[in-house]
Amino acid sequence: MPLTDRLARAILVTGSLGISTYLALFSLGRYDGLFRGLYAGAQAGTITPGGKKGPYALTKALVVQRTLELIADEYVEPKRVVPRDLLLAALNAVQRDVAQVLVQVDPAGQTAKIRADDKEMTLPVGDVKGPWDVLAKIRTVFAFLEQTLKDSPDIDLREVEYAACNGMLKTLDPHSVLFSPEAYKDFSVGTSGKFGGLGIIIAIRDKMLTVMNTMPGTPASGAGLQKFDRIMQINGESTATMTINEAVNRLRGDPKTEVTLHVHRDGKDGWPGTKPYKLVREEIKVASVESKALEGGIGYVRLKQFAEQTTTDLVKAMAEFKATGHDKGLVLDMRGNPGGLLDQARRVADLFVKEGVLVVSDGRKDGREELPAKDDKNEPNYPIVVLINSGSASASEIVAGALKNLDRAVIIGETSFGKGSVQKVEKNIPPEGAALKLTIAQYLTPGDVSIQGIGITPDIELNPMTVDVQELDLSADAPILRESDLAAHLSNVKAKEGARPLEVVKYALSREDRNALRERGGDPEDQFALDAQIAFAQRFLKAIGGHSDKRAELIKKARGFLETYKSEELKKIADDLGKHGVDWSDDGNKQGFDASKISVTVEPSKAGGEVVAGEPLEIKVTVTNNGTVPLYRLRAQTKADAGIFDGKEFVFGRVDPGKSRSWTTPMGWCETEGYKPGSTAIAPKDAPRVCRVPKDAHTRADAIKIKFEEAHEHVPAEAVVKTTVKALARPSFAYSFQIVDDVEGNGDGALQIGERASVWLTVKNIGQGKSFDTEASIHNLSGEGLLLRDARFDVSNIAPGDEKRVRFTFDVMPALKDNEAKLQLSIRDADLRETASERIVSPIRPALGVGKSGGTFKADNSAIGLLEYPSAAFRPFGELPKDGILAITGSLTVGGAEWLRVDLGGGR
């Protein structure tokens, strides 16, 4: 909410005072899906805002109409299409995305009141029976909104319709989504696996746009750009608060077009300020296949995605292996491969399989379609290992499922994501070329087995173990996210629950390697590195000696290797635990056991288990063996509803009769002091790691269960400890702002091309608690038309009742296409996740002549309204109270009325 008190000292306000609490955050890089005829390169749900292109005919609802037509004709599960739910979800999505709109449905569910600004309409919603009822209702609402909001400068009516469509689609499944024309452009990049660009991989690091890598033979590498270079400007536009998606859109373009980057480099080879790089875009081919020859005549191929050239590039890699004698076995790595083209998945699987059905597509419109293997140009029958993890989805699951169920490969790693659906993309939807991605079928692996929501179970499951006093990890981790965790996910009666791997192999993963894996999100390195899973696959293939057989037989042949490997890794873990006084030995004693003879005590470090958010909490568990039988490899793990308490591990090892063993484990999350994940800076030497309950934790009470495991199932009774988290008092950000042409401008209170202006912002904490890591920023919504200079400020640690004032600056450039400057103002506490934001629109106006004047002005009889521009059409941003006095700095006459420019102090 804007500030309304102490207005004589507050920052002046322009435009709408309403706050939208919805922040649109865009990311690029991960995509999901299995597609017929094209490939998607953007994340489902990503909508990129587009600029206005003239009046938008919202009332016609052409995009909604086409969306409903395709849902009615082709959606895979008609029973999931509930017309009334579609309507209400559409209205709710508009309400969420447009601050001026409020929707209230009466308790009986028969009517909805839609309010836009100060106008209101009532819509019957209880009589919606079919999709065309939905269309009629939405057109009625759109007519109302178009009439009410058409003159609002910060509302794009096109985005209102897109929001409504995506609201409807979210009721169906997680993968059906509508893309704006701009988003579809990114979405389709992967179809051909090429685009016009610079060959540069970027990320946000330390709040700056940072080069993470360059592709060999591309303009970026040829120009000498290096890892960790900071891109400060793109074609004169500051990247200070630019998102990755926006940066990618500006770096890409048609081949043979120019782009100028201003780059800063730290270090001994660096320079102060920025250095310009003028580059010419070229066609960049994105490699979906990477290959490496391994020792022992084994080939390694990583499939990053399934694009148009995937099979062709894979065939080339296999030919190179054959030519160099690396065709005695193949490691096919599809970890982190999120999908792509259905046809490419079929063709990849077909390279290795001579007969059988590779995949079945079962759709509503096209019915059942079997895609058989062809006995044509197949690879020789050498042994294959396929690596998968929870990030392997869709098309990669088709390949893994075909090679597994047709007994052509041994699957190693983790259970895959479990996305068993097929999407179709309808493009060029009028009036502006939006695209609809709609789920039209589900696929079945050989044997008519669906993996929807279940995933591909590996033959050999690999589980890492890490000995770390603060973050012990000896048990298998639950996947971060799978298809079954997504809202409105599809199900299939042919999905088989309960599949188990033939072997479970634990391996030692050092704390350093685990941290590196976390930094890159769990996926393999961009550049080849012989990690633990590749090394295991390589040794497995060596162990079976080039033989190819049924999967179960191959695993039997590798039995000796598997036992040796397990022993090697177990010794590593035992040695690490021994450094912490834990005996991890097991003499195989399986004598009788009496759980009643084992006592367990649990002691939280805080009295009564009560902890305030942001503080540390440790739990100490002591096990005393009062029986006659030793316990071996005793460990425990917490089970709790709250993630900050769940999955925490304790290790005791061998506990002899009459002895006790204790282990203390911190709750919450752990981090290195002075280092933020993702930073390019090196963590301070010997910096301590601290574990705390996160600051944003809410008040809650938990019963934490402590469950034990032991080598011979000599398990003590489950223990329970109760904890209470007390939330921190939250800040709440009120603010006011003023746009002033006070840097390099004529001082008339309006913006003109060529001026350098300020956004003066005052932030006041009107909440009950102080803020922590808090940032205020402005974000450019006008492209090359604005050049941000001072765009981000640290406003941390604002006590309740206190305020901070900052001054953003920007230039109005000749390239500004619209007659208004558009910015997004945001205030965000990263620790407590409290946010306030508003879109600022400031018109470009003709210059006014301001004459010099002096003296003072006093509000003699009553308070006087203060305006930032000399026009009664502007609402006051505040007032000068009765008897208040301000210095006069200028005067001008507009429309026969005299206006005074006054000094509010502090440079304003």
Per-residue confidence (pLDDT) for residue 206, from 0 to 100: 87
Looking at 135, 153, 179, which one is the last position of a domain? 179
**pLDDT-derived band of residue 490, with 50, 70 and 90 as boundaries?**
very low
Would you say how long the chain is, in residues? 908
Domain shared by 175 and 199, yes or no? no
Per-residue confidence (pLDDT) for residue 282, from 0 to 100: 93
* Backbone angles phi and psi of 676, in degrees to 5: -110, 135
pLDDT digits (tens, 9 = 90+) for 696-728: 999 999 999 999 999 998 999 999 999 999 999
Q: Which of 43-47, 52-56, 80-84 has the highest mean pLDDT?
A: 80-84
**pLDDT-derived band of residue 875, with 50, 70 and 90 as boundaries?**
low
Check the CA dihedral 415-421-424-429 and report its sign.
negative
Ramachandran assignment for 858, one of left (phi > 0), alpha (psi -120 to 50 degrees), beta (any other)? beta
Q: Are residues 405 and 153 in contact, defined by beta-carbon separation less than 8 angstroms?
A: no
Domain shared by 474 and 417, yes or no? yes
Domain shared by 801 and 657, yes or no? no
Percent of the chain with pLDDT over 90: 54
CATH number for the domain including 668? Answer: 2.60.40.10
Q: Is the pLDDT of residue 21 over 60?
A: no
* Backbone angles phi and psi of 405, in degrees to 5: -70, -20
Write out the E strands in 694-845.
Answer: 700-709, 719-726, 733-744, 756-765, 774-780, 786-790, 792-794, 803-812, 820-829, 834-843
Ramachandran assignment for 566, one of left (phi > 0), alpha (psi -120 to 50 degrees), beta (any other)? alpha
- The three state secondary structure string of 564-617 is HHHHHHHHHHHHHHHCCCCCCCCCCCCCCCCHHHEEEEEEECCHHHEEECCCCC
Per-residue confidence (pLDDT) for residue 592, from 0 to 100: 74
Domain shared by 238 and 329, yes or no? no
Torsion of CA 86, 87, 91, 92, to 10 degrees: -40
Domain shared by 740 and 824, yes or no? yes
Domain shared by 62 and 167, yes or no? yes
Q: Is the pLDDT of residue 33 over 50?
A: no
224 vs 908 pLDDT, higher one: 224
Domain shared by 150 and 205, yes or no? no
Domain shared by 467 and 608, yes or no? no
- Weakest mean pLDDT among 75-84, 358-367, 384-393, 794-803: 358-367
**pLDDT-derived band of residue 521, with 50, 70 and 90 as boundaries?**
low
Query: Is residue 846 situated within a structural domain?
Result: yes
What is the distance between the alpha carbons of residues 342 and 455, in angstroms, rounded to a whole number? 17
What is the distance between the alpha carbons of residues 717 and 706, in angstroms, rounded to a whole number? 9
Query: Is residue 36 situated within a structural domain?
Result: no
pLDDT digits (tens, 9 = 90+) for 662-696: 999 999 999 888 777 667 777 777 778 899 999 99
Percent of the chain with pLDDT over 70: 88
What is the distance between the alpha carbons of residues 545 and 533, in angstroms, rounded to a whole number? 19
Q: Is the pLDDT of residue 479 over 70?
A: no
What is the distance between the alpha carbons of residues 673 and 696, in angstroms, rounded to a whole number? 18
Per-residue confidence (pLDDT) for residue 459, from 0 to 100: 95
Token pair for residue 576?
A: 């690490």
Its domain, for residue 271, covers: 194-285
Query: What are residue 289's DSSP bridge partners?
Result: 303
Query: Is residue 883 situated within a structural domain?
Result: yes
Q: Are residues 724 and 604 in contact, defined by beta-carbon separation less than 8 angstroms?
A: no
Domain shared by 397 and 369, yes or no? yes
Query: Is residue 272 situated within a structural domain?
Result: yes
- Weakest mean pLDDT among 10-24, 375-389, 792-806, 877-891: 10-24
Looking at 726, 752, 778, which one is the last position of a domain? 726
Give the chain's largest Cα–Cα span: 104
- Weakest mean pLDDT among 39-48, 623-632, 671-680, 795-804: 39-48
Token pair for residue 593?
A: 């056991």
Domain shared by 370 and 466, yes or no? yes
Token pair for residue 703?
A: 């019963």
What is the distance between the alpha carbons of residues 121 and 445, in angstroms, rounded to a whole number? 51
Q: Is the pLDDT of residue 817 over 90?
A: no
What value does the mean pLDDT take over residues 613-627? Answer: 96
Per-residue confidence (pLDDT) for residue 448, from 0 to 100: 84
Domain shared by 549 and 409, yes or no? yes
Domain shared by 871 and 898, yes or no? yes
Token pair for residue 558?
A: 């590798």
Amino acid sitting at position 903: D
Query: Is residue 33 situated within a structural domain?
Result: no
Q: Is the pLDDT of residue 40 over 60?
A: no
pLDDT digits (tens, 9 = 90+) for 189-244: 655 556 788 998 898 888 899 998 888 889 999 999 999 999 999 998 889 888 88
Write down the residue that tokens 């295991």 correspond to. 536
Query: Is residue 625 situated within a structural domain?
Result: yes
Looking at 285, 318, 338, which one is the last position of a domain? 285
Query: Is residue 608 situated within a structural domain?
Result: yes
Q: How many structural domains compose the chain?
A: 5
Query: Is residue 141 situated within a structural domain?
Result: yes
- Number of neighbouring beta carbons within 10 Å of residue 527: 7
Per-residue confidence (pLDDT) for residue 30, from 0 to 100: 30
Token pair for residue 878?
A: 């505040």
Give me the DSSP letters along 189-248. HHHHTEEEE--EEEEEETTEEEEEEE-TTSHHHHTT--TT-EEEEETTEE-TT--HHHHH
